A and B are shown apart, each in its own frame.
Chain A
Amino acid sequence: MAAAVAASASTPQGVAERRGIPAAAFVEDVEAYLRQAGLDVNSALAFLQERLQQYKIVEMKLLAQQRDLQAKIPDIEKCLDIVATLQAKKDLGEALIADFELSEGIYSRAKIEDTDSVCLWLGANVMLEYSCDEANALLKKNLENAKASLEVLVADLQFLRDQQTITQVTIARVFNWDVHQRRSKQAIKET
């Protein structure tokens, strides 16, 4: 029986979990793993499959959040653009004439004169009036927050996908080990 002592040596494999997502334990040696966990092959495979499903569910959630953020960022940038245009027009002393959609397919013209303030939609049926400078500051802060959140989210997704990959590889290895075992036992029986 080959010595399986080396199998339980701890390797620096990074964090044990990230923001509530448990890390997948990397298996150095399949046999030692099964013995330590006290599981037979089928139970181990079932456990790993369930872990994989849980990871998939979290992935769906994170992907939805990512899509929301990715839609929000261009919106904020457009708002910043409008505020900048209004300010530029104010500096020129001109009014801004804009065509806007009144209803589907119907547009109307507006003349926006000497604006010192803009109204920003904050969500939850709330709209607040800000001076152009305040609006700029608020929008820029929101943009930075959104971009930062997106970065964290992307890192979370990468971590999650790594754990999925590790789990999938472990499932394959456990399965192969089992096949190997059966073949060996068969070979022994036939001799």
Chain B
Amino acid sequence: MQQGDGTEAQVTWEDQQNINRFGRLNNRLHELQDEIKLAKETNENLDDAGNELILSDEDVVRFQIGEVFAHMPRDDVETRLEQMKEDAAKKLERLEEEKESILAQMAELKKILYGKFKDAINLEED
């Protein structure tokens, strides 16, 4: 087989696996970005709820569980809200950490793949 300019790098199974891994990470990154947006909204809502609670001086608060609003004493509601805020903050932190990790892994893979394939491959967001 005559080689033309012969500088085309061959794709090995290892390369393919790297490309696959990059694709998986990219997908997960997009999912994470959506999840992080939702988590941030939840956090804000909980903060707003907390503020409203402080401002109101009712003893019985209607707290939403599922589809109904249960009448609960104010202290219970405060406790619940604190717990929810803590859970939400932890969840957001976890998501951000995962996102950082994924970005780092993707940067690594980009180095490897661009190193081997240079112009023949495009790993950027369109």
Contacts and interface: CB of A to CB of B under 8 A. Distances in A.
Interface of A: 1-2, 11, 13, 26, 28-29, 31, 78-79, 81-82, 85, 96-101, 107, 110, 158, 161-162, 165-166, 169, 173, 176, 180, 183-184, 187-188
Contacts of B27: 161
A180 B62 CA distance: 72
A8 to B, nearest CB: 14
Q: Closest 4 A-B residue pairs measured CB to CB?
A: A78-B66, A97-B71, A99-B69, A98-B68
Given A26-B13, A161-B24, A165-B20, A99 B4 contact: no
A161 B23 contact: yes
A85 B16 CA distance: 52
16 contacts: A11-B13, A26-B16, A28-B12, A78-B66, A82-B68, A101-B68, A158-B24, A161-B23, A162-B24, A165-B16, A165-B20, A166-B20, A169-B11, A180-B8, A184-B2, A184-B3
Contacts of B20: 161-162, 165-166
A110 B20 CA distance: 55
A173 B19 CA distance: 14
Contacts of B12: 28
Contacts of A161: 20, 23-24, 27
B1 interface: yes
Given A1-B1, A85-B70, A176-B8, A169 B19 contact: yes
Contacts of B19: 165, 169
B1 A2 contact: yes
A78 B13 contact: no
B13 to A, nearest CB: 5
A165 B11 CA distance: 13
A176 B2 CA distance: 15
B66 A82 contact: yes
